[in-house]
Amino acid sequence: MEGPLMNHSANLVASSQRLNKALAHLRFAPPVAWVYRPLEYAWEPHRMFLERFAQGKKRVVFLGMNPGPFGMVQTGVPFGEIAAVRDWMGIHAPVGKPAAEHAKRPVEGFDCKRSEVSGRRLWGLFSERFGTAEAFFSEHFVLNYCPLVWMSETGANLTPDKLSAADMQPVEQACLAHLGEVIEILQPSFLIGVGGFAEERLHRAAENSGSSAIIGRILHPSPASPAANRGWAEAASRQLAQLGVW
């Protein structure tokens, strides 16, 4: 039993490495001034996340957009709120530095004192419902569509919709290919976008890979969303119940 289960995580590790390699040479025009690549400098905790929690098929796969400044940027784990990654998942590993680092956006790894609100809300809901990380990940998995972080000259976060179509085309190609591989490896029954952007990419990837999974979305837990600040966990739980996930 252990062999086939390990194959799932090993295949995901290999797919993540291919994605990182495909994105490594890309350069971006203004307003992008800084690019962080957590799969490079925070590869060790990311690899641990995949090896520990991507074993076996998953009933449900959640997809986020790209790393947050105090989450995956610091820990290499999607929605990687430090306390959740370190204390709930039991992952703690050395984290390096981006090739070029903005003074206002330092990468401090697990020493970062800031909290990623989206990650705190997401993993908080899962830990409250399932108790242990092992119980949650036995049927669920979480990943981000794109592992890159773009920032303006001031260090302000730039979401993918702020980049030119020409710059995003090779990013989309690589990320959709990776997402298709994840779907083929994990063979989920449900694909859940955390927000509308992720849901749309799931539709594209599922169509490309021939997946018959049910596709839906939950409200994004970002504090920038007024709706998410009015009881996000309750809203997301209702949506998942309506979809038949929970």
Q: Quick one: three-class SS letters along 74-138?
A: HHCCCCCCHHHHHHHCCCCCCCCCCCCCCCCCCCCHHHCCCCCHHHHHHHHHHHHHHCCHHHHHC
- Alpha carbon distance 185, 120 (integer Å): 28
Which of 23, 64, 72, 19 has the alpha carbon at shortest distance from 45?
Answer: 72
Tallying the residues shown for the chain, one arrives at: 246
242 burial (CB, 10 Å; 0-12 / 13-18 / 19+) is exposed
What's the chain's Rg over C-alpha atoms? 17
- Alpha carbon distance 212, 30 (integer Å): 39
3 burial (CB, 10 Å; 0-12 / 13-18 / 19+) is exposed
Query: Which whole-number Å values give the CA distances from 151 to 16, 161, 207, in the listed order?
Result: 22, 13, 31
Is the torsion defined by CA of 71, 243, 175, 47 positive or negative? positive
pLDDT at residue 6, as a whole number: 58
CATH 3.40.470.10 assigned to 2-138+154-243? yes
Q: Say if CB 49 and CB 89 are below 8 A apart.
A: yes
Q: Say if CB 145 and CB 161 are below 8 A apart.
A: no
Residue 34 DSSP one-character state: E
pLDDT at residue 1, as a whole number: 36
Q: What is the pLDDT along the chain (246 residues), one digit of tens a residue?
A: 345 555 889 999 999 999 999 999 999 999 999 999 999 999 999 999 999 999 999 999 999 999 999 999 999 999 999 999 999 999 999 999 999 999 999 999 999 999 999 999 999 999 999 999 999 999 999 999 999 999 999 999 999 888 999 999 999 999 999 999 999 999 999 999 999 999 999 999 999 989 999 999 999 999 999 999 999 999 999 999 999 999
Query: Which whole-number Å values give the CA distances from 6 to 3, 43, 48, 52, in the listed order?
Result: 5, 19, 12, 9
pLDDT at residue 7, as a whole number: 85
pLDDT at residue 145, as a whole number: 98
For helices 43-53 and 2-24, what crossing angle results, to 10°? 150
- Alpha carbon distance 186, 180 (integer Å): 10
pTM for this model (two decimals): 0.96
